[in-house]
Each structure stands twice: as C-alpha cells, then as structure tokens.
Amino acid sequence: MEAVVVDAGSKLLKAGPAIPDQAPSMISPTQMKRMPEDGSANDSSLSEDITVDPVVRGFIRDWDAMEDLLHHVLYTGLGWEIGNEGQILFTDPLCTPKAVREQLVQLMFETFNISGFYASEQAVLSLYAVGRISGCTVDIGHGKIDIAPVIEGAVHHIASRRFEIGGIDLTNLLAQELGKSNLGINISMPDVEKIKEQYSCCAEDELAYEKTENSCQTEKHTLPDGQVITIGRERYTVGEALFQPSILGLEAHGIVEQLVRCISTVSSDNHRQLLENTVLCGGTTSMPGFEERFQKEAGLCSSAVRPALVKPPEYMPENLTMYSAWVGGAILAKVVFPQNQHVTKADYDETGPSVVHRKCF
C-alpha cells in the first residue's frame, strides 16, 4: 500500500497516495460544519452557520475537528481500513511549533494506529517538486505568506520570514472594495471568495494600476440570489496589495522586496543560488498576471542578483503551484519509507512524541 501524503492548509486539505507525477487524489475544504450533538440536522437554522476551522493561518488549532477531518479523509476518502492503517507523511508549515509537531505524531500513532510517520517542511518539499534542493520559496497561502531560503534541503530559519496575511485578507479587502462600489448590496464572504477566484488579477506594474483609477473596464456579475453587481478596479486591487501592502493598511515592503531582504541576511556565497531558484507556490500565486508582475518587479529590485523563477518540469501535473508541497511530499515519501528513515511504531513507543524532532528534519 502506498504511503499517504497530507498537506493541510487553512482553506484546502490535499491528500492522496504518494504518486509524484499526479495531482493529489483528494482536495477538500478544511473548514467544517459542526452538527448538533444528537446527530440530527433538522434544525438547520441553528447548525448551518456554525463552522469550524481546524487549521488557522497554517497551523492546527482545533485538534478535535482535525481528528474528525482526518478520519473522513483517510477512511472514507482514501479507503483505509481500521486495523490495516498505513504510513503517512505530513507537510509542515514554516515555523511550526514543536508542540504542534508532537501532538500530530501522537494523534497519528495513538488514535489512527499508523505504521509509520514522517513530516517535512513545505518550503523544502515545494523545491523538490521542481527538481531543486536549494532555492527560495515564496508561498502565498490562504492564511499566511512564507518566504523561506533552503540550502541543500534544509530551511535557513534565521533568514526565513512569515507574514500573517494571505488569501483570506485579500478576500476581506475585496469585500470592502465591492461594498464601496455596490452600495446597499450585501455580498456573503463565500460569494466574495468565488468572485476573487474568478476575476482578480495583477496589473502590469504600479503605473498601470494607477491608470485603472481613471479608466477600467467593468463587468456585471450576477450573485446566486439574483442581485447584479459591478466589478471594476477592485479586481486589480487584490493583486496590487501583494506589491503595495499599504493598500491593506500595512507598513511593509512588497513581496519581491521582502524576498530580497530575506536573502540578504544569508551568506553572500549563497545569494545567486537562492535568488535564481525562486519558486512561487500557494493558490494566490496562480492569479492571472501575478507571475509576470513578480518578474517585472524582480527586474527593478535593488539587489545585485535578481530573483528568477523556476519553471515546473513539463511532466508535473498542471497547476503545480496549488499543491507543490504535496507533490514534493509524494517524492520524499518514495525515499524515506522504503529506506526506513521514518518514525516507526517501535520508535514512538520507545521515545514518545519527541522522537519527531530527531527523525523528521
């Protein structure tokens, strides 16, 4: 039985058997609805709006909900049988607290009775997915932005940066902007999220964005309830916020300048290797125009060595940026489990949860 790879994000959980040149077989929302204790769903007015987020800003926050979600994914979604559980590899977000890693390995061995466990950092795995062991990842997820230099398969933690903004904040920004231009129309957040995914894009540069203030093509969009809204400049504002965080009310540099500043804290011997092997990942980076804008800003940056993006190999699945960490995990699983480099049940029984720090790095 193939090992299972799980990448649990704030918005989507990606899971499936470790087959590296295929997309994960299961991609499901991480957010869950809480049902009444007696299991009845008759009083829908009470239950429909009670949502639970097991993962917040990249980290597991609600362990009971996470257990329920993993039970559904592994047994119902992927066909595990109770008493015949296999091996599992999890992707770790940047700066995962030790306590979270220990609690996860404890949950997997004591509740799910797995036969083997491994965890590896998302930045390293995203590089593996494009055939690199050194480089820098810019991961714009639903709840956070991680910039992580990786040298010879190890994250350079001192130089890494984590920002508590992500796709959810861009969705909130879009909701505010649409509210200003469509007065009196109440748009639900799930609808705003869909509008963001359908319409948002990046302007060619800062000047092109400024021009949208005076002239910008508008489109009509019909909401599920039949109301019609107008979408204009807002679509560009979402992408622009990544390059001009002041739009979000933040005193911070844009994404390319942040990358260059991260790398500048690493030994100068590694600057070229890191910047010229930059990998974009996370759903937000697949926004139309984002990659082109990133490259244009990179050409204008102050660094002597300019960031250059690594293109995924042709044989890799489409939309690799959406789940590059999962694909890298599938590649790694093909190595660590056959070569017995993982945490076994005997390792766990002998040492306890802290074994994860010794064997997964």
| CATH code for the domain in which residue 153 is found | 3.30.420.40
Residues 229 and 353 in one domain: no
186 lies in a domain?
yes
Question: Which whole number is the average pLDDT over 193-220?
Answer: 94
Q: What CATH number does the domain containing 175 carry?
A: 3.90.640.10
The range of the structural domain enclosing residue 256 comes to 130-165+252-300
- Assess contact for 233 and 213: CB atoms under 8 A: yes
Q: What is the DSSP letter of 328?
A: H
Do 242 and 262 belong to one domain?
no
The pLDDT score that the predictor gives to residue 335 is 96
pLDDT surpassing 70 at residue 162: yes
pTM above 0.85, yes or no: yes
Mean pLDDT of all residues belonging to the chain: 93
172/242 same-domain check: yes
Are 240 and 260 within one domain? no
Q: Say if 204 falls within a structural domain.
A: yes
> Same domain, yes or no, for 18 and 84?
yes
pLDDT at 33: 86
Residues 209-221, mean pLDDT to the nearest whole number? 92
* Domain end among 205, 223, 248: 248
Residues 216 and 343 in one domain: no
Do residues 289 and 341 both lie within one domain? no
Q: Which residue has the higher pLDDT, 336 or 314?
A: 336
Q: For 176-183, what is the mean pLDDT?
A: 94
- Report phi then psi at 338, rounded to 5: -60, -30
User: pLDDT digit string (tens) for 9-31?
Assistant: 999 999 999 999 899 999 999 99
Whether 305 is in a domain gets the answer no
Q: Look at residue 47 and tell me whether its pLDDT is greater than 70.
A: no
- Of the candidates 188, 215, 248, which is a domain's last residue? 248
Spatial CA neighbour of 135 closest among 115, 159, 112: 159
Q: Is 50 exceeded by the pLDDT of residue 312? A: yes
- pLDDT class for 214, splitting at 50, 70, 90? confident
Q: What percent of the chain has pLDDT over 70?
A: 96
Candidates 280, 198, 206, 194; CA nearest to 237 is: 206
* C-alpha dihedral sign at 53, 57, 58, 59: negative
Better-scored residue on pLDDT, 317 or 19: 19
Q: What is the mean pLDDT of residues 187-195?
A: 95
- pLDDT for 302 equals 77
Length of the chain: 361
For 279: left if phi > 0, alpha if psi spans -120 to 50, otherwise beta; the answer is: beta
CA distances from 38 to 34, 44, 206, 274 (A): 12, 13, 55, 54
| Tens digits of residue pLDDT in 254-267 | 999 999 999 999 99
Let me know if 18 is exposed, middle or buried by CB neighbors in 10 A (0-12, 13-18, 19+).
Answer: buried
- Rounded to an integer, the average pLDDT of 209-224 is 93
What pLDDT, on the 0 to 100 scale, is given for residue 39?
Answer: 58
- Phi, psi for 237 (deg, rounded to 5): -60, -35
DSSP string, 146-215: EEEEEETTEE-GGG-EEES--HHHHHHHHHHHHHHHSTT----HHHHHHHHHHH----SSHHHHHHTTT-
Overall average pLDDT of the 134-159 stretch: 96
Residue 116 domain-assigned?
yes
Handedness of CA 319, 322, 326, 328 (dihedral sign): positive
Claim to verify: residue 66 and residue 19 sit in the same structural domain:
yes
What average pLDDT score do residues 107-117 get?
97
Q: How far is CA 34 from the centre of its chain?
A: 24
116 and 10 together in one domain: yes
44 within a domain of the structure (yes/no): no
Listed in sequence order, the residues at least 6 apart from 137 whose beta carbon sits closer than 8 Å to its beta carbon are 122, 123, 126, 127, 146, 147, 148, 150, 278, 279, 280, 281
Considering the domain boundaries, does residue 39 fall inside one? Answer: no
The answer to whether residue 37 is domain-embedded is no
Q: Is residue 310 part of a domain?
A: no
Q: What total of structural domains would you count in the chain?
A: 3
Q: Are residue 281 and residue 138 in the same domain, yes or no?
A: yes
**Per-residue pLDDT for 96 more than 80?**
yes
Same domain, 284 and 181: no
Asked whether residue 41 carries a pLDDT value surpassing 60, the answer given is no
Do 151 and 204 lie in a common domain? no
Torsion over CA of 201, 205, 208 and 209, rounded to 10 degrees?
60
